[in-house]
Amino acid sequence: MANEAGHDQDLYKKRIPIFPRSVKGKFRSLKWSILFLAYGVYFLLPWLRWEREVGPQQAILFDIEGRRFYIFDLVVYAQDIFWLAGFLIIAAWLLFFVTGLAGRVFCGYFCFQTLWTDVFMLLERLIQGERPARIRLFKSDWDANKVFKIGLTHISWIGVAFLTGLSFTLYWGDAPELVSQMVTGDAPFPAYATTLFLTLSTYVMAGLAREQVCTYMCPYARFQSAMFDRDTLIVAYDESRGEGRKGRQKLTKALKDIDVRHEQGYGDCIDCGYCVQVCPTGIDIRDGLQYQCITCALCIDACNEIMDSVGYPRGLIRYTSDKVLQGEKTRIFKLKNIGYVVAILATSIALVWSVATRDVLELAVNQIRQPLAQTLADGRVQNSYELKISNKGTHTTRYRITTEGIDFGELDLANFDEVSIAPEKNLRVMARIRANPATVEQSKTLFHFVVTPLNQTELKPVEHEAWFYIPQKQLEK
């Protein structure tokens, strides 16, 4: 496309490749620890076995076909899906709270994109070497060495991406069985499709797109600034210290001593560029807070390493707030933060209470409406109901079915008043109530079906309301 001056101009900015340098420091170590923990949980959890009286022996299993999720001892049914809503609400509150308090720590330490890109960069570095070697390789002509190193890098990325995709698939079926089915070609098609999709997306996102995902694709990068305020913790370059009166200055023999630098008006930044070289998004933190910054704090480690080597105090780049940089005090205890804490606690307590007090016995009543009321040969009126009793517990349970609030009616369950239901099963029972119109005063009577567990005394009976109808003309006879 031509611009106003008539020159050809690309619609999209060409990506400038980034070759981050490795760095050592406490934030890098913290990030590795979180990464090992996250990978350990993600890759090993599908293989963790779990003893259950009924159901699969896998600790975490999302059984789509059976419409239930197994999470250790908790079995989540389709109708419990509002727990997921509760969980997502808590996650959203937590994200708002943490972002307001500590900026984009989620991006820098916990986001999948960061965790997987870190490993892909590590593989790249192990195969191709440190930053200068990678730049040289990138600029060199294609030869056997370049083909080998670049090829091996991509193969290793695809290997990690495949393990990632496969592990995700294993959460949706019995892991050992699913793996053997996939090897023999007997696995269901969605298992192959999911693995392939996750393999490709991981390879593209963490291997090829990398920082572009954070910069252009992630919506959080765009709206997180709405949660920031002047008290929010950010990774910041201390400009007044780094620049002094005359600006940053390279380290020379004459300008090595910090006091001499200060006397001559120079700041503590020796303009070594290490903070820029380690940045996974390729930005210069000395230009101020930028939306591309994922707050990974690697530039803090880099600058601290430089400060140590020249004998200057650490913290030229550090976690701080805008207020501190302006000589004010950071305020944590303010209405917004307290409000978030209250909201998180209230929603968490409600969710835990809902899970802890969940019913393992469920009763649904559906009145048969065609016909709503039937007049029998002996003059009595009959209403019919379909009862659905679900045993969501882990033991076979016997139940007695009775009614309350309809003394004039006779309950007919087809010659039985007790049923036995296996764990995780449900049973449909046809119930009929008959009454002599002469004993009934109104055309509509509200009553309850009651289902009482018999062999598990710790379980409470459940009730469900229903209506008994008698046509008005029957009452008037």
SS3 279: coil
Number of CB atoms found within 10 A of residue 148's CB: 11
Residue 234 binds to ligand SF4 (criterion: CB under 6 A): no
Token representation of residue 202: 């991981």
- 421 burial type by CB count under 10 A (0-12 exposed, 13-18 middle, 19+ buried): buried
Residues 100, 105, 110, 113, CA torsion sign: positive
DSSP string, 84-109: HHHHHHHHHHHHHHHHHHHSSHIIII
Residues 279, 281, 285, 287, CA torsion sign: positive
Residue 29: CB minimum distance to ligand SF4, A: 15
Residue 459 binds to ligand SF4 (criterion: CB under 6 A): no
Please, which of residues 303-322 interact with ligand SF4 by CB under 6 A?
303, 306, 316-317
The smaller minimum CB distance to ligand SF4, of residues 294 and 433, is found at: 294
| Total site size for ligand SF4, rule CB under 6 A | 29
| Cα–Cα dist 155/176, whole Å | 25
Residue 21: CB minimum distance to ligand SF4, A: 11
SS3 318: strand
Residue 302 binds to ligand SF4 (criterion: CB under 6 A): yes
The contact mask relative to ligand SF4 for 32-71 (x = CB under 6 A, - = no) is ----------------------------------------
The smaller minimum CB distance to ligand SF4, of residues 119 and 373, is found at: 119
DSSP-derived pairing of the beta strands 381-391 and 361-367: antiparallel
Short-list 413, 157, 252, CA closest to 149: 157
The smaller minimum CB distance to ligand SF4, of residues 241 and 432, is found at: 241
Token representation of residue 44: 């090993």
How many residues appear in the chain?
477
The smaller minimum CB distance to ligand SF4, of residues 102 and 272, is found at: 272
Short-list 338, 351, 350, CA closest to 83: 351
The smaller minimum CB distance to ligand SF4, of residues 118 and 424, is found at: 118
The smaller minimum CB distance to ligand SF4, of residues 18 and 163, is found at: 18
Residue 96: CB minimum distance to ligand SF4, A: 21
The smaller minimum CB distance to ligand SF4, of residues 34 and 152, is found at: 34
Residue 310: CB minimum distance to ligand SF4, A: 8
Residue 27: CB minimum distance to ligand SF4, A: 9
Please, which of residues 265-294 interact with ligand SF4 by CB under 6 A?
269-275, 278-281, 283, 285-286, 293-294
Q: Which residues bind ligand SF4 (CB under 6 A)?
A: 235, 237, 242, 269-275, 278-281, 283, 285-286, 293-299, 302-303, 306, 316-317
